[in-house]
Structure 1
Amino acid sequence: MVLKVLPNIKHKRKRCFRFMLFGVKCIGCGSGKNNFSFYDKEKKQWVLCNLDTKKEKRSDGKFIGNFDKDSLIVFKEKQSYFFLNDSLELALNSSYDFATPFSSVSAIVQKSKGFTLLDKNGKYIVLPNKGKLSYVAENLIEEVKLPNFTIINSKGESKLAAGYESIHVLDNGVIQGINGDEIQYVDLNGHLLFTSFTKDVIVEK
């Protein structure tokens, strides 16, 4: 679908309505409170527009959006990430080198001191560290502090008793943790289901 940029008009509210009337597809919608976004192909920008406040935010980077309709909007501008409220105003008064949308109570952010979990008030749930954080399921985060891998929840609590050399979350929600020849299978609550060994695994050729 080719999106044609309409000429600027005095009232951004009318402009937003014109975009909607012309059938521009909503790519993301913030919290859903009269916000919508689209990609301006001519200027190669993501545009966030609010129908109530008549505000518009443009980004040269990728619009990230959010997971939870009641959460803050993640917006990338140049090389920095920001959190915006429903009115497209800066929410946490800070910028980040990397940020994910909020999943339940936390978001993953990165600053100069490393990765951390952030609550909706902008406070750290865990202290920043050089270990990398990434979501593997809703409210479950893989924490990598080489050479160890582990799983924490959105409150920063460890869900696994031990660190592993590698971790995989299987389709059924079971966590597979590997340490040398030992393979442990753990549920999403951190309870050990069973243990096997790589010598027991038969690979058909």
Structure 2
Amino acid sequence: MKTKFNTSKFLAIVFIAGAITLSSCSNDDEDNNVVPELEVKTVEDLDGSQGPVFFSLSTGTAVQESATTWDIKFNSSNFSFGNGAEGQVIEGIFENYVVAPASGYSADDLAGIGSLYTYTGQAASGAQHAVLPTPGRILVVKTHDNKYAKIELISYYVGNPDTNSEAFINLETRPQSRVYTFNYVVQPDGSTNLK
């Protein structure tokens, strides 16, 4: 017995199979094009109380001055750059700052007071003679290995203390200074994307 070939049913099946295949390929392409968000790393209590401390943004560790991987030197409230790294202060909020500038970097030493830090001096209220991160300012760095990074200073004192507390306001009970807490992000692919 001969069966009659139904062209319209055959074409419908081929069309549906093709649509499913294209749909799954399209989803695979979308998954491959997703750019993962960069990881925000936090460094707590990087101790510079005994002298300058050299930090590699690539490895996320303090290193010896002789190392070829350090990018930034924390020295009191000042910053220096090494091994070809350069930096600049940017007005912006760390979380919202998404693209590093292509130019404007400098290898010159950077005075933190007046740029990234505020010195309270003999403030009429609150803590006197304190060094506090300046809100709305971040440091953008082009690292020694040509990656872009952003840094948000959190604290200049051990333990990231509450700067409005009585213990902090009182100079005799204030925690040790020159002990840095900060957030940072490094873009590993060399692009200026910092999100």
Structure-1-length-normalised TM-score: 0.22
Which one has a bigger Cα radius of gyration? Answer: 2
Name the one with the larger strand percent.
Answer: 1
**Relative CO higher for 1 or 2, CA cutoff 8 Å, sep ≥ 6?**
2
Name the one with the larger helix percent.
Answer: 2
